[in-house]
Amino acid sequence: MADLRQHSIEVILKNQSPSGAYIACPNMADYAYCWFRDGTFIAYAMGIVGEHNSARRFYAWGATVINARAGVVERALTKAARGEPLSATDYLHTRYTLDGQEGTDTNWPNFQLDGLGTWLWGLHKHLAFTRNTTLPADWARAADLVARYPTWPDYGGYPTMIVGKNSGSRSTPIPWLVYTPDYKPLRVMSTNQSTPKLPMKFVRLYWNTVSSMAIL
């Protein structure tokens, strides 16, 4: 079992891109991408086994991808505030190429909000693993963008996808996480509960049922 564990670590390190991205599958074209959700779970596992540099490179990749699309986030926020409908170009994708580009397959269901929430959760875990108390400046910018990113209701019901299913059905955002300004989770709440009166800025991050059960 120890050999299998070490071999798994070596496979992950071997296939991690120089950019820091974790490829989903190195020999299947549809999965020659890096997902925020899947990559965060890999980075979390690497943190558990002490491969913090590998995890750090992934989070740096994520921050670069998000910061490069700050305009998308700001446009979505502006439209949501005005009550304008958001289009297919007004959201961050769930997966990107290893060098941080959008995929060319327009039929892929890229609107999956859980990935960004998972990435933000992973940042907190990475800081805890490495005993750091502050985020690098570019990571903090990306975290702020994700924290301010419109949540599911702001998209006017634009269909988001359920993790683990390829049916194309819409997911129901059941729980949310409440985060403090330093992105540490305070509590998990159900959408049928009222928003707490907190003496601090907070953000609601919607998760689908599968992701919530997997990491909370």
Tens of pLDDT, residue by residue over 16-26, are: 999 999 999 99
Would you place residue 73 in the very low, low, confident or very high pLDDT band (cuts 50, 70, 90)? Answer: very high
More confident call, 114 vs 68: 68
Strand partners of residue 185: 179
- The CATH code of domain 2-156 reads 1.50.10.10
pLDDT of residue 106: 67
Residue 171 has pLDDT above 70, yes or no: no
- Would you list the DSSP string of 71-115? HHHHHHHHHHHHTPPP-TTSS--SEE-TTSPPPS-TTS----THH
Q: At what angle do helices 137-148 and 52-67 cross, to 10 degrees?
A: 60
Whole-number Å distance between alpha carbons of 179 and 184:
5
pLDDT of residue 166: 36
Alpha helices, H only, the chain = 2-15, 36-48, 52-67, 70-82, 114-130, 137-148, 209-215
> Cα separations (Å) of 125 from 23, 45, 56, 207?
21, 10, 11, 17
Would you place residue 80 in the very low, low, confident or very high pLDDT band (cuts 50, 70, 90)? Answer: confident
Where along the chain do its domains lie?
2-156
Angle at Cα 132 formed by Cα 128 and Cα 138, nearest 5°? 110
Mean pLDDT of 157-168: 41
Taking the model in full, what pTM does it have?
A: 0.75
- The helix (run of H) or strand (run of E) holding residue 190 is strand 185-190
Backbone phi, psi, residue 148, to 5°: -95, -5
Would you place residue 180 in the very low, low, confident or very high pLDDT band (cuts 50, 70, 90)? Answer: very low
| 35-39, 132-136, 190-194, range with the lowest pLDDT | 190-194
Residue type, 120: L
What six digits make up the tokens of 126?
A: 């990475």
Tens of pLDDT, residue by residue over 27-58, are: 888 899 999 999 999 999 999 999 999 999 99
pLDDT of residue 110: 77
Would you place residue 157 in the very low, low, confident or very high pLDDT band (cuts 50, 70, 90)? Answer: low
More confident call, 182 vs 202: 182
Q: Identify the DSSP state of 37.
A: H
Mean pLDDT of 179-193: 39
What six digits make up the tokens of 17?
A: 């891109």
Percent of the chain scored above 70 by pLDDT? Answer: 68
What six digits make up the tokens of 32?
A: 């020659």
pLDDT of residue 199: 31
Residue 185 has pLDDT above 60, yes or no: no
CB 34 within 8 A of CB 102: no
More confident call, 153 vs 6: 6
Angle at Cα 88 formed by Cα 87 and Cα 91, nearest 5°? 95
Instruction: Tell which residue, 67, 108, 69, 111, has the closest CA to residue 86.
Output: 111
